[in-house]
Amino acid sequence: MPSGSQNGQLNALLALISEAVATVRNEFSQSSKPYVPSLNDTEPHPLDTQFSSQALIKAVRTIQGACAQLCTTVVRPNHTLLNSGFNSYEIPCLRLVLSCKVPDILQEKPEGMPIAEVAERANLDKGKLERIMRLLASRHIFREVDTDVFANNRLSVQLLSTNPISSLILHCSEGSSWFITEALTDPKWGHSYAPEHTAWNKMTKFPGQAFSWLGTAEGSQERSIFGLAMVGFGEGIQGHAVIQDFPWNELSPGTTVCDVGGGVGHISMPLAKAHPHLKLKLQDLPASIEQARSVIWQKECPEAIAEDRIEFKAIDFFKEAPIEGCDIYFVKNIIHDWPDKESVTILSNIRKAMKPKSRLLIEEFVLQELGGKDAVEPAPEPLLPNYGAGKILHYKVDLNMMTVLNSKERTLNEFIQLGKQANLEFIKLWNVGELGALEFRGC
């Protein structure tokens, strides 16, 4: 590429960053704390727990993507690849400080604690812990406030043991990704999408699917982590933003919404509170439905029960259709747990229950193609069409699904093809927080 064109790309990236930063400043200026917080802050900013506007989400994606692309453009290629090769050390370091509750220890002295004291409290070697902390602090996780004195910061306070994000990182750092090569080069497993032919199976030697292992005595510790990890995952990706970003308020009173595979009501409960004109149906396996009916909703949302706005009914969505004739069937983070064959079975059973005017909403990550022409709005040039680093979490989660379950996140075209196999027609993609809500109707 001629140098003039390359310099033009640098200028374009700088312009994108400048414009996006202005949007971020404007969004923060309208909050009760009208400033962008410092990395040294340990108190949460109001926008940390609010659903981000689509303007803010797009601006942040642009900044992440443009800054990463700018660095990759100007840094020597071999240096960039060296950094990538050594990235593998950060996750084990995070796992160590979480396992030893280092953030909790530091929280007792917000001004900073000598590493010798931290190491003694954590029962670790001072010299080794110091090196780990310095690596993480160089990535803005913790801060070194004086020589060999460390403190929490804006990122590390998220790692306190009371925060579900800490459980999420522990769950994601269990090590199965190291067995991708063994799984993909296995003559039998490499081309298989069976849920028991995964890198996770190579690591654990467990003969069945990962979800089955969570129900065993051996998997009990991971089971306790997994539940909180999914809460942290939902908070991190603003999974509840569908309550704000989808036009539920435009639906007529008495509209019925069936939450298929909804657990104890992680989405249907806040939906019931935010939109009391809806009538909710919650369906999942018997144990979850019994817990929801007898404990969770009685305590957290008794008004929905008293006003007959919630119905509980157990289901095995592989073997039966959900409650018939609902206006909307809602499926959140279910399809990505399964390969195509099983996903089509789930969707086909939902299709059987739909009436002519029923709609299906699938809330998931929607991956963007880099070379094709899908209907997802591309990022502004010269960014990669999928924002690159701005959406890299989508692709990391996709590989996590492959590694653990032999399932996947999907592109819009892949969702449309799944729908066709289940006799469903794609209507619209709604942007809801970090996710997409794909709307289908029966063919």
Active site residues: 336
DSSP state, residue 89: G
123 burial (CB, 10 Å; 0-12 / 13-18 / 19+) is exposed
Q: Compute the distance between CA of residue 379 and CA of residue 371 in angstroms, rounded to an integer.
A: 13
- Tokens at 115, concatenated: 């590493």
- Tokens at 363, concatenated: 């809330």
- Tokens at 96, concatenated: 């160590």
- 244, amino acid identity: Q
Q: Compute the distance between CA of residue 391 and CA of residue 141 in angstroms, rounded to an integer.
A: 21
Q: Which residue in this structure is represented by tokens 């032919």?
A: 197
The DSSP string of 281-310 is EEEE-HHHHHHIIIIIHHHH-HHHHHTT-E
Q: Compute the distance between CA of residue 347 and CA of residue 428 in angstroms, rounded to an integer.
A: 17
Please enumerate in sequence order all residues whose Cβ is within 8 A of that of 17, keeping only pairs 6 or more positions apart, or say none: 62, 63, 66, 67, 70
β-strand pairing of 410-411 with 424-432: unpaired
- Tokens at 398, concatenated: 């996709």
